[in-house]
Structure 1
Amino acid sequence: MNDMSAAQKDILVADLKRVLADAEALLKATAGEGADELVHVRDRLQATLSHAKDGLIEAQAAVVDKAKAAAKATDGYVHENPWKAIGVAAGVGLLLGVVIGRR
């Protein structure tokens, strides 16, 4: 999962949220059914959904924490080395300009 881009991770999280919402809707729709097997499966699904939600919330919090730490580190570096940061930004801008100009 480390090879995934941020956009791919966002899409995955959105897809997982949709799956969880659909599964919850299925649970609500079958709540009136009385077969013992269905009740057992529904209870297992409810427990699995609860666990998946908790894991998704923890993963989302970890990603937010990492992003905040990276932003704080970048901010600190820029404040300590403003001219280097300006030089790097100018270099990246020049490189992007050359790449876009060739197309």
Structure 2
Amino acid sequence: MPNATEVSREKLVADLKVMISDADELLRLTAGQAGEKVSEVRARLGERLTSARSRVGELETSVVEQTKKVANATDDYVHKNPWQSVGVAAGVAFLLGLLAGRR
């Protein structure tokens, strides 16, 4: 089960991908605009987008690696403690059943 940090990282990666996509679209839409200021801003934005893409890729790789580590640790624990794992799963299922039954 992913912890809050991993969920936050995954959400950050997804949000950054959306932002980069929106910025790319903005660059495409303003391609025909003339003027020194517009060209300057477009150039800076292009550089920052390239940098952001690189960082998002690194962050995404980090999230995948952490997720794999957590999954492997969980798998090892379940293999070493099968009956405790079954008990925990049964307890969680029981609690979820109680909560669902109240609605």
Count of residues paired in the alignment: 101
Q: Distance in 1 between matches of 2:80 and 2:30?
A: 60
Letter in 1 for 2:47: A
Q: Deviations over 1:30-53 (max 9, x none)?
A: 334342222111110001111111
Q: Which runs of 5+ in 2 are unaligned?
A: none
The match for 1:63 is 63
The match for 1:50 is 50
Two-structure CA RMSD over aligned residues (Å): 2.4
CA distance 1:9–1:66, change in 2 (3 Å): closer
CA distance 1:22–1:44, change in 2 (3 Å): same
Q: Which runs of 5+ in 1 are unaligned?
A: none
Contact 2:10 2:63 in 1 (8 A): no
Q: Deviations over 1:64-93 (max 9, x none)?
A: 111111000000011111111111111111
Q: Distance in 2 between matches of 1:49 and 1:21?
A: 9
- Bigger mean CA deviation after superposition, 23-32 or 87-96: 23-32
Aligned structure 1 segments of 4 or more residues deviating by more than 3 angstroms: 2-5, 8-15
SS at 1:33's partner residue? Answer: coil
Q: Distance in 1 between matches of 2:6 and 2:18?
A: 20
Letter in 1 for 2:22: D
The match for 1:85 is 85
TM-score for both structures, normalised by structure 1 = 0.80
CA distance 1:60–1:5, change in 2 (3 Å): closer
Contact 2:6 2:63 in 1 (8 A): no
RCO (CA 8 Å, sep 6+): is it higher in 1 or 2?
Answer: 2
Q: Distance in 2 between matches of 1:88 and 1:31?
A: 58
